[in-house]
Amino acid sequence: MAERLSAEARKSALAELPGWSETAGRDAIARTFTFKDFNEAFGFMSRAALVAEKNDHHPEWKNVYKTVEVVLATHDAGGVTKRDIDLAKAMNAIAGQLGVA
């Protein structure tokens, strides 16, 4: 099982993850993505879902029209692990391909 990152390791990982931040009251990371329209938001979710399923590591997320709110944590570990950082990186790359920095 992946190990929870220390607060220090989490902070330095977040420094390299534009848009992501720690969540209040819970060991997790979060980002809200805003796309051009629903089609792009759902396209992002479709692509991210394939990565998540491939890695057996899944986001908590909510879509409203063109926004997608994502929270990542490793439930088995009770906090943020490298698996969350890797998924966050992949999500940023997918969003980047869709024109969202």
Q: Which residues are near ligand H2B by CB under 6 A?
A: 56-58, 74-76
Return the number of the residue (37 or 53) whose C-beta is nearest ligand H2B.
Answer: 53
CB of residue 20 to ligand H2B, shortest distance in Å: 15
CB of residue 81 to ligand H2B, shortest distance in Å: 9
Sheet holding 67-72, edge to edge: 21-22, 29-34, 67-72, 60-64
Q: What is the CA radius of gyration of the chain?
A: 13
Q: Residue with CB nearest ligand H2B?
A: 75
Return the number of the residue (33 or 40) whose C-beta is nearest ligand H2B.
Answer: 33
CB of residue 57 to ligand H2B, shortest distance in Å: 5
Report which residue type is found at 84: D
Six-digit token pair at 42? 């759902």
CA distance 4 to 80: 5
Return the number of the residue (10 or 57) whose C-beta is nearest ligand H2B.
Answer: 57
End-to-end CA distance of the chain: 31
